[in-house]
Amino acid sequence: MLNYEKLSVIYFSPSGKTEKIVNEVAKNFSMNRESYNLLSFDDTKTFTDELVIIGVPVFDGRIPKLACERLSNLKSENTKAIVILNYGNLDYGDALLELVELLKENDFEIVGIATTVSQHPYFPEIAKNRPDMDDMKRINEFSQKVIEKLNSNTRNEIFVSGYKPYTPYKTPDFGVLCDEDLCVECMDCVYTCPEEAIPEDMPKKTSLDDCTRCSTCINVCSENARSFGGMNYAKEMETAILNNLERNEIEFFM
Ligand SMILES: Cc1cc2nc3c(=O)[nH]c(=O)nc-3n(C[C@H](O)[C@H](O)[C@H](O)COP(=O)(O)O)c2cc1C
């Protein structure tokens, strides 16, 4: 019987898949739940004597820079963390090591990690419709293993792959486009863009120097006016599809 008063669910999830997965894990726990969406939550906080689930996606072999900054503000006092690293079936590069090191620095005790796979927002043919039913089964299997471990009070260090210095941050050569005929200037993208890359006075534009291509604006647009595109997009899509259609399965690190 788990003895925690509260479960905190912490995620960074521009296209919503990581959020879906952490919530699936959370369903396995009956405590009161509190959620922290790191696209908007930028406070400092210490989690004390708690259980947390932390989920972030992989951006170019790293954890997204903004997610890293916001996670750095979250500290633990005697708090255990269940960790989800969600990637688009390509490669998670150094992101797993980066996430583990960051959480350890902030004193979280990691009880289990799952690397999960979701449909890639740039290349929707890759990991299409994932997480799917098989993924959800495996995510619940992972959750049960974590519960067993928590109940048995087992403590161990979890070692993961990755290299330091971490691979440098990258921004793709392609951009985010707005179909000016479809855009109704509702401003949803302006107010949800975590990088403030869409100017309030010109919501049909995107400052590509500030934009990380995270896909929040595309996901939030009810008119489907926003999309990835521009120079190099078709070519990158072709190469990515050629190399990454084979299904990667969810891995557990306990
Ligand atoms: C900017 C950006 C970079 C990405 N880089 C990678 C990558 O290096 N490897 C990979 O497998 N998937 C990559 N992906 C795919 C995401 O990790 C994956 O689709 C994840 O599900 C997105 O999570 P979300 O739905 O919670 O936003 C990238 C996605 C974006 C938007």
- Confidence class for position 69, pLDDT limits 50, 70, 90: very high
Selecting from 3.40.50.11540, 3.90.650.10, 3.40.50.700, 3.40.50.360, what CATH number does the domain 6-164+248-253 have?
3.40.50.360
Count of other CB atoms within 10 angstroms of residue 12: 26
Nearest to 120 by CA among 88, 155, 162, 82: 88
- Confidence class for position 231, pLDDT limits 50, 70, 90: confident
pLDDT at residue 207, rounded to an integer: 96
> Per-residue pLDDT tens for 102-120?
999 999 999 999 999 999 9
Q: Which CATH class is domain 175-229?
A: alpha beta
pLDDT at residue 1, rounded to an integer: 72
Nearest to 135 by CA among 248, 240, 12, 215: 248
Instruction: State the average pLDDT over residues 94-107.
Output: 98
Q: Look over the chain and give the mean of its residue pLDDT values, rounded to a whole number.
A: 97
pLDDT at residue 171, rounded to an integer: 87
CB-CB contact of 43 with 37 (8 Å): no
- The model carries a pTM of 0.97
CATH 3.40.50.360 domain extents, the chain: 6-164+248-253
For residue 213, which atom of ligand 1 is closest to its CA?
A: 1
For 174-204, give the DSSP string: SEEEE-TTT-----HHHHH-TT--S-TT-TT
CB-CB contact of 102 with 124 (8 Å): no
Pocket residue to mutate for ligand 1, from 19, 38, 53, 59, most atoms within 8 A of Cβ: 59
Higher pLDDT, 1 or 22: 22
Distance 213 CA to ligand 1 centre (A): 10
For residue 118, which atom of ligand 1 is closest to its CA?
A: 21
pLDDT at residue 167, rounded to an integer: 97
Q: Please give the distance of CA 210 from its chain centroid, rounded to a whole number.
A: 19
Instruction: State the average pLDDT over residues 202-214.
Output: 96
Whether pLDDT at 59 is above 80? yes
> Per-residue pLDDT tens for 148-159?
999 999 999 999
